[in-house]
Structures are given as structure tokens and as C-alpha cells.
Structure 1
Amino acid sequence: MKQHEIVGYNRANLGKTESKALRIEGNVPCVLYGGKTQVHFYSPAILFRTLLTTPDAYEVTLNIEGDEYKAILQDAQFHPVNDQILHADFLEIVEGKDIKVEVPIRFSGISPGVQQGGKLIQKMRKLKLSGPYTKIPDYVEVNISNLELGKTVKVSAIQLEGVEILDSTALPIATIEIPRSMRGKTA
């Protein structure tokens, strides 16, 4: 997983009014859970740009007033109108304990169906994985070099070592759609 660091400060007061005041100052109220204790903190919103604008999974080093924690961004809540980040949840990475994370899917190879005029339709962007954080890959690579017109590649085609795939094996990842102009010719 890629690395990212966020500097945070402990929150003295919890609640709606204090959270609103933090957001007005350009900060994001956050919580770290999954370890021995929950840690409530806030951090400048600008530090979240890298985490939120890329599909990649990151291992985040949280530096909260000198205390360092390894974590992953579990959830982020956004304002419905202006897309401002309202809250972030972090899951602490504990040795020997499995984590659940969504990892982006990337395609490799050239599909014969696309070369014949078909269109590659990506049905899934991320795959849910569970396992030790040392075994979680940066991305899941799906080979589409044998995908013909009208064919689909499913989650069952993915084999990963040391991690469990939480998505249903019957879910389609990608399909090659037959263009309307070719439908009469193939039937």
C-alpha cells in the first residue's frame, strides 16, 4: 500500500457545535478506532486531498500531538452540496489483526473483443479485500487479453494469495459490449 502522513491534534470537546467550529476553521473532525482506545482528533482539510482524490489504498501514518498510529481511511463523509469533507474515520492497523479495505481494479492486456469493435464496460472499480495489511496489494490486476465480444470476466477469475475477497464471486468486473451496428451481423 502507498504511504501518507496526516498530522492531527487531540479534540478537547466533542459534539455538533465544536465540530462545526472546527470545519469553519478549515479542519476535519476525525476518529481513530480499532486499537486499544478510540482517539478523537482533528486535522487540516488540505492534508486529505491525496487520500480522497485518488482511487488508491493508502497506509496512513497519523501523528497526533507526537503519538504515531498506523491506520487506513475507513470512511469519509462529505457535504451534499459543496463536497466539503465533514468527517473521517480511520481504522488502526494492529499486528496480527486482519483489516477490510477496498482496493482499485486495473486491467492488463488487450481484449480481442475491443479490437473487433466492442466496448469495454467496467462494472466494478474496487474490490473488497480482507487480510493482514502486509498482504493487501496496491491494486488488483485483471487480465482481459482473452475477453471476446459479449464475454464477461467475473470476480471468481481473480486469485489472490494471503487475502480473502469479500465480494461475491458471481459479480461481473468487466464485459465487452457488442455495438448496436454489429448486433445484426453476429446473430
Structure 2
Amino acid sequence: MHNTDERSMLSLLKKGNNLVFTHIYTTYGGLVHYHALVTLKDAAAADDVLQEVFSRLWENRKEIDVDVPLKDYLYHRTQEACVEYELRRKNLANELPDIEDEVDGHSELARKEFLAKIHEAILQVYPPACREILRMHVVEHKNYKEIARDMKITVEVVRNQICKARKSLRDILGLS
């Protein structure tokens, strides 16, 4: 059981109180980041997980159970976000060899045609904002948080755009 002050704070959060959300982020953000960093051993990944946990906290604030201690809630959400991050990372690692095998297994002309097909698919299928997100992620090697900051959008939007783009690119290239 946790204290009445925390229940009151969570009740205000459920109602959309930004000051309470900021207080929670300030109070627990370091702990969430530390747990993610220890789990993932990657500072940029820990930054992404931190943003993911607090984005979900805000998005799902109306469903929060005020009887569950906030620290426990955040700990479990951090664990889930770390697992999801690792799964996405492994999926990407599994996708890249498929694409490289596809390119390496053909002549230089076939390789150029394959890369041209990728470029054409990106230009035709994806809207300009999505193309920019992909460019920043793939070419500039920026993480989700950096892209979100630069484009003035949420980390969740960046993550969703990249996931959707990867899936549709696999479909277009016949790699799924």
C-alpha cells in the first residue's frame, strides 16, 4: 500500500495535470533511465526507453490504477520497454543481413537495380515527413529522441513512422 499523497498525485495525473506529470518525470526520470541503461548497456537506447515510458504514462494516464505504487508501475513499464527495444533491435539486425544477402548475391548491375528499387520505393510510398525521418535515422544515424527534437514531434511518432516504413519496405522488396 502506498501513501495518500501519491494517490492524490496519480488522480491529478489521470485528469491530465501537466505539473504533476512534470513532477513525476523529474522525480523518477533518472531512475527509469538508470534501469534502462543497466539493462540495455546503451545510453541512446536508454534515452529512447525513457521517452517511451513517459510517453506511454501520459497516453495511458486515464487507465492508471491509483492503488499501484508509481515506482512499481514505472519499473514494470521500463522492463517492458527494454524488452520491446531489444526485440526491435534484433528484428532490425535480422532484416539487414537479408537485404545485404540480396544485394551481395547478385552482380553489380543487379545490386544497383536493387538499390534503385529501394530508393524509388522510398520516394513513391512515403510522405515527405516520413522520408525525412528515415533519412535522419539511416543516413545521419540519429536516434529517435534526436529526430523527434529536430522535427519537433514526439518520439512515439518517430518510432511508429520507422516501424511502418521498415515493414512496407520489406513488403515492397519481397523480403517479408
TM-score, with structure 1 as normaliser: 0.25
Structure in which a larger fraction of residues adopt helix: 2
Structure in which a larger fraction of residues adopt strand: 1
* Bigger RCO (CA 8 Å, 6+ sep): 2
